[in-house]
Amino acid sequence: MILSWLTHSVELDLAKGVIHAKTTYLVWEDFKVQFSQKNAPAIYQLQKSLASLLQGNMSVSSYYTKLKGLWDELDSYRTIPNCDQFKAHIEEREDQMTQFLMGLNDAYNTIRSNILMMSPLPNVRQAHLLFKKKHSDR
């Protein structure tokens, strides 16, 4: 049943490549190999864009949306973390919070300091909402 679902839920070209697979595991592994290819130039460019992104003239919401789009695109090149990699995944999320706060304009120093003093730190989405609540969106 799952084999049928997999082959009917993908584009015809992909289905043709796995239609004769004996197990769902083989289909999954085939898709994994096809779609988990690293793309070093794209990853490099995304990291570079993230490193240089500052709020500037954008509103906090626009800045956050731009960052989130870059983070999501970068995530599309990464594999889903397993149990052994989960700690690194959590640390990466904390790095996103730092990146978000560092790129904000100096007008947000007070709110930024208040967030950095929270224990535990909120996630980046929660911090974005705090900025929207506590300060008019510039």
The Cα 109–Cα 104 span in angstroms is 8
Tokens coding 111? 């709110």
Dihedral angle sign, alpha carbons of residues 94, 100, 106, 110: negative
How many Cβ atoms are within 10 Å of 64's Cβ, its own excluded? 22
- What predicted TM-score, i.e. pTM, was given to this entire model? 0.65
Q: Residue 60: its pLDDT value, please?
A: 93
Single out the residue of 84, 126, 135 nearest to residue 107, CA to CA: 135
**For residue range 43-73, what is the model confidence (pLDDT) as tens digits?**
899 999 999 999 999 999 999 999 999 999 8
Single out the residue of 108, 75, 69 nearest to residue 127, CA to CA: 108
